[in-house]
Amino acid sequence: MSKDFDPEKFCGIEEYGTSVPGVGGTVKTKPEDFVVEEVPLDLGEGGSFLLCKLKKENMTTFEALERLSSELRVSRKRIGYAGLKDKRACTTQFVTLEGLEEEDIQLDNGRLGVEAVKKVPRPLRTGDLKENSFHITIRDIDISPKNCKERLENLREEINEGVPNYYGMQRFGGQRPVTYLVGRELLGRNYRKAVETYLFKTFPTEKEEFRKARKKLEKERNYEKALDYFPRPLTYERDLIRSITETGPSSQEDWIEVFRTFPKNLRRLFVHAYQSYVFNRALSHFFKQENVTNFPGKVPGYGTDLSSSDFDGYLKKALSEDNVSLNDFRFKETDGLSSEGTVRAALMKPGLEIEKVEELEGKTAAQVSFSLKPGRYATVVVRELTKKPS
**Among the residues of 201-263, which ranges form H helices?**
208-220, 223-229, 235-247, 252-259
**DSSP per-residue string spanning 316-358:** HHHHHHTT--GGGG--SSSTT-----EEEESEE----EEEEEE
C-alpha to C-alpha distance for 172 and 85, rounded to whole angstroms: 13
Residues 6+ apart with CB under 8 A from 267: 259, 260, 334, 336, 337
**Among the residues of the chain, which ranges form H helices?**
7-10, 61-72, 145-159, 179-187, 191-200, 208-220, 223-229, 235-247, 252-259, 264-286, 310-321, 378-386
Is 86 in the active site?
yes
Question: Which residue in 347, 344, 348, 349 sits closest to 296, CA to CA?
Answer: 344
Burial status of residue 81 (CB atoms within 10 A of its CB: 0-12, 13-18, 19 or more): buried
DSSP-derived pairing of the beta strands 90-98 and 49-57: antiparallel
For 214, left (φ over 0), alpha (ψ -120 to 50), or beta? alpha
Catalytic residue among 4, 6, 42, 86: 86
Beta bridge partners, 283, equal: none
| CB atoms near residue 56 (< 10 Å) | 26
Contact at 8 Å (CB) between 49 and 78? no
Q: What are phi and psi of 57, to 5 degrees?
A: -135, 125
Residues 6+ apart with CB under 8 A from 383: 8, 13, 16, 389, 390
Question: What is the helix, strand, coil percentage profile of the chain, to 5?
Answer: 40, 20, 40
Question: Which residue in 187, 135, 166, 232 sits closest to 328, CA to CA?
Answer: 187
DSSP-derived pairing of the beta strands 79-81 and 296-299: unpaired
Q: Which residues are catalytic?
A: 86
